[in-house]
Amino acid sequence: MKILIAVTHLLGTGHLSRALTLGRAFAAAGHAVSVVSGGGPAPHLSTRGVAFEQLPPLRSDGLTFSRLLAADGKVADANYHAARQAHLQGLVRSLQPDVLITELYPFGRRSLQAEFHVLLEAAHALPVRPLILSSIRDILAPPSKPKKAVAADAVIAQYYDAVLVHSDPNATRLEASWPVSPALSQRLHYTGYVAPPAITPHPDKLGQGEILVSAGGGSVGDALYACAVQAAKAMPEHKWRILIGGSNASERIAALSDPASPARLEPARPEFRSMLPHAAASVSMCGYNTALDLLQSGVPSVLVPFDAGNEVEQSLRARSLATLSGVAVEPTAALTPARLSAALRQVMQEPQRSLDGFRFDGAARSVEIAETLHRALRPSQR
């Protein structure tokens, strides 16, 4: 099959990372995969195994997701959006995919509704309509108004065949963050967690015995980094490595550096996952991909969920993990160097947590579900 995955990350890079993991699973099963990204460049993410298409990039204006900025930092105008829409429309017509997957939409990215509408209309206008799926993580940003959930239901009913929920229903069901109507419930397919292959420890033991501090590949996390720089002074017996994300990592490192702190600051590294099994502990936010990395590695973890701008997704996820051994949660508003140090000492003393019961094969399971649904869709045309 020909697979087209459309994703736009506006702040961090987690959405693109998950879409690429999903794409590689389809490619591993023998399918031809194209991933079209509408967010900014993310050079630390591998596009191996998939054809990668870049739209004119967009990013949010800080936490204002309704105000979208173009590559030059100015508000994207109508012509800029039209260029993105034309690119998507042309891509669908040229590829004529058998399966179209939209990441997050229509449960989010409402500011990009017009371009997703163009994408979906183009897919429905093909001689043979593709199977159309929405791909969503375990926990969504709850709708601020009931009508947003109603609108999402209407889009699903009009354009989509199914929704892939990348969660284990025994751990987290969609109802925990989103009102699931009877109609929507019939279209949900739980896949398990979409995680990359099991972590292979770094061959050179990079990160050995260190406290690794990270906040993803985006441009958030300065408060967490600054706190960690100071907390390192209270725990000089440990090496601290603080991995700074964002395209302006060098400037942020210069602003955050403190000669009195033993912490080592450097740009985010592609080897981050392989460093975790060697680390003494991790301090991080609690995005979907990061949470899975921590679970797979078993590293003692202090979670500082991103909660600015009324964001609740990471807090809900962190709360669900807080019952596990070796996991502590510190809200951003209460975070101090002393609290961070205390939380780290706590998790490093707790027993190794078990991974029994967690399903990390969601990418492969998503492929199986898509293959089954594709065979069932209008078999007379297949």
- Residues 55, 85: contact at Cβ < 8 Å? no
1 contact partners, CB below 8 Å, separation of at least 6: 26, 31, 32, 97, 98, 99, 370, 371, 374
pLDDT value at position 90? 96
Q: Over pLDDT 70: what percentage of the chain?
A: 97
**Element spanning 118, H or E:** helix 113-124
Nearest to 240 by CA among 227, 251, 249, 252: 227
Nearest to 135 by CA among 163, 168, 111: 163
Average pLDDT for the chain: 92
Nearest to 98 by CA among 362, 382, 365: 382
Q: Does pTM surpass 0.95?
A: no
For residue range 240-292, list pLDDT tens digits in order.
999 998 878 899 999 999 999 999 999 988 899 999 999 999 999 998 989 99
For residue range 339-366, list pLDDT tens digits in order.
999 999 999 999 988 777 778 899 999 9
For residue range 30-78, list pLDDT tens digits in order.
999 999 999 998 888 889 999 999 999 999 988 788 899 999 999 999 9
Distance (Å, rounded) from C-alpha 97 to C-alpha 130? 6
Q: Which domains does the chain show, CATH number per domain?
A: 2-197+360-381 (3.40.50.2000), 210-349 (3.40.50.2000)
Exposure of 201 in the CB half-sphere (CA atoms within 13 A): 11
Distances (CA, A) of 335 to 3, 63, 228, 268, 272: 43, 20, 10, 22, 24
Q: Which residue has the higher pLDDT, 195 or 8?
A: 8
323 contact partners, CB below 8 Å, separation of at least 6: none
Residue 194: both structure tokens together: 């979409």
Q: Is the pLDDT of residue 214 over 60?
A: yes
Tell me the one-letter amino acid at 359.
Answer: R
Mean pLDDT of 11-17: 88
Residue 127: both structure tokens together: 């001689």
**What b/e string do you get for 142-171 counting C-beta neighbours within 10 Å, with b at 16 or more?**
ebeeeebbeebbebbeebbbbbbbbbbeeb
Tell me the one-letter amino acid at 177.
Answer: S
Distance (Å, rounded) from C-alpha 344 to C-alpha 103? 35
Distance (Å, rounded) from C-alpha 382 to C-alpha 203? 47
**What b/e string do you get for 347-369 counting C-beta neighbours within 10 Å, with b at 16 or more?**
beeeeebeeeebbbebbbbbbeb
Q: Is the pLDDT of residue 382 over 70?
A: no
Instruction: Name the band, by pLDDT with cuts 50, 70 and 90, for residue 378.
Output: low
